[in-house]
Amino acid sequence: MAEPIMENSRAARPDQHALLAPLLSLTDVSKRYGKLNVLNNLNLHVRPGEIYGFLGRNGAGKSTAIRLMMGISSPSAGTVSVFGEPMKGSRCAKARRHIGFVAQEQSFYPWMTPKRLGKFMRGLYPDWSDERYKALLTRFDLPLNRKAGGFSGGMKARLALSMALAARPKLLILDEPTAGMDPVARREFLSLVKTEVASSDTTVFFSTHLVGDIESLADRIGILDGGRLVYEGSLQQLSERTACFSAIVTPDTDAFPLDELAGHPYEVIRAGGGTAEQMVVLRWLADNRPVIAAADLPAGWRETALSLEDIFVAMILHQH
């Protein structure tokens, strides 16, 4: 398995935002298209200054949720609030002037240069900064007068991020921004997000199905599956409350002693395995996680470290 989750510097301080009123909220939100329920009673809250990682498989409903946050679509039920006000009517257009957005696929007129795009964007965003835009283009190694049609996918993503940050947004929404990037471009993009956002007060909502994208960035995460939020909290808490036990199967292998965990509320998010190995993944539902010493486990059983990706996969598979 991968290396265990390591607490990052931002995730180490989630409580600094805990007392602030949410900047972005979805309350009892459902979205239906005909008989298809895409989102079902979704509740999530993002506080000012946070980087919130929104994790889910393709088709989980992440992009639908973002369309509601942007005011592009309306919920079938529930309330979407941005900057403390519901996203309804004329409020949507006003709110979008303070939201930066980087999509999975960047669409620019191929004949437009970054310089021309900057002039266009200046009229759309009240807090737009030409100085910051030029500094970002230089920082991201983007030519000012080259046509965007000749840019690579990674360059287009950096250009989109430059425009989003130059608008000095209160909220930055990233929707699968690294999909399709090669590993080098992906790592570079994430590094740019981390360093640029750290120097501002921007709140970030980062939607992705790539666990590694948010593992070193997020203060808190929400895991979406089937239109429902199956987990919301810090990476540290998720790591501390999840444990994996495995055993190589032999004729003498005993079952995992779940009965001995009475008094420690938990859920089994994976149990079973093949003929060669058995595995049990548990998530404690309270902070009083029991300490299970190796000597207390049946012969052949051992505790195994989990990465965030291991936990994410186990939780998603548990829902199906």
Q: 107-133, pLDDT tens digit by residue?
A: 888 899 999 999 999 989 999 999 999
* Percent of the chain topping pLDDT 70: 92
Residue 316: φ, ψ to 5°: -70, -45
Residue 196: φ, ψ to 5°: -75, -40
Question: Would you say residue 265 has pLDDT above 80?
Answer: yes
Alpha-helical (H) ranges within the chain are: 62-69, 90-96, 114-122, 130-139, 153-166, 183-198, 211-215, 235-240, 308-318
Question: Would you say residue 20 has pLDDT above 80?
Answer: no
What pLDDT digit, counting tens, does each position of 65-99 carry?
999 999 999 999 999 999 999 998 888 999 999 99
Q: Which letter, b or e, does each residue of 123-134 get, where b requires 16 or more Cβ atoms within 10 Å of its Cβ?
A: eebeebbeebbb
Residue 201, class by beta-carbon neighbours within 10 Å (0-12 exposed, 13-18 middle, 19+ buried)? exposed
Question: Would you say residue 164 has pLDDT above 90?
Answer: yes
Higher pLDDT, 59 or 289: 59
Average pLDDT along the chain: 85
pLDDT attached to residue 76: 96
Domain locations along the chain: 14-234, 241-318
CB 97 within 8 A of CB 125: yes
Structure tokens at 94: 């006003």
pLDDT attached to residue 32: 94
What is the average per-residue pLDDT within 298-315? 86
What is the homologous superfamily of the domain 14-234 according to CATH?
A: P-loop containing nucleotide triphosphate hydrolases (3.40.50.300)
What is the average per-residue pLDDT within 190-201? 82
What is the average per-residue pLDDT within 203-230? 90
* Residue 229 CA: distances (Å) to CA of 37, 56, 200, 285, 286: 14, 9, 29, 16, 18
Provide the pLDDT confidence category of residue 54 given band limits of 50, 70 and 90: very high
What is the average per-residue pLDDT within 308-313? 87
